[in-house]
Amino acid sequence: MLKVLVACANGAGSSLMIKMKVEKVLKELNVPVAKMHHCSLSEGKSAATQFDVVFCPLNFASMFDRAKENGTTIIGLRNILSEAEIKEKFLESGVKDK
């Protein structure tokens, strides 16, 4: 079961919207989720290593380089509300097959 983190600048509105889109996509793909959390970038940066995958706006993806080095998959989104992009990047990441 997958542990998913969604992070945005303030951890309020946009991270919640991304979380809802990610939940919908993962449900469509029949991906079991053990835990899903949305938060601010600062909280996410320190917590990211506890998750299997992190979704965030593309321009903030480099903030999670330490987590990436520790095996967390980081998915930066150009359009945070695009279910098609979320699905495409998630499938490309290979995290579903781990």
pLDDT digits (tens, 9 = 90+) for 41-97: 999 999 999 999 999 999 999 999 999 999 999 999 999 999 999 999 999 999 987
Enzyme catalytic residues: 8
pLDDT digits (tens, 9 = 90+) for 2-47: 999 999 988 778 889 999 999 999 999 999 999 999 999 999 999 9
Has this prediction a pTM greater than 0.75? yes
Domains in the chain and their CATH numbers? 2-97 (3.40.50.2300)
Q: What CA dihedral angle connects 78, 83, 84 and 89, to 10 degrees? A: 60
Q: What distance in Å separates the CA atoms of residue 58 and residue 29, rounded to the nearest whole number?
A: 22
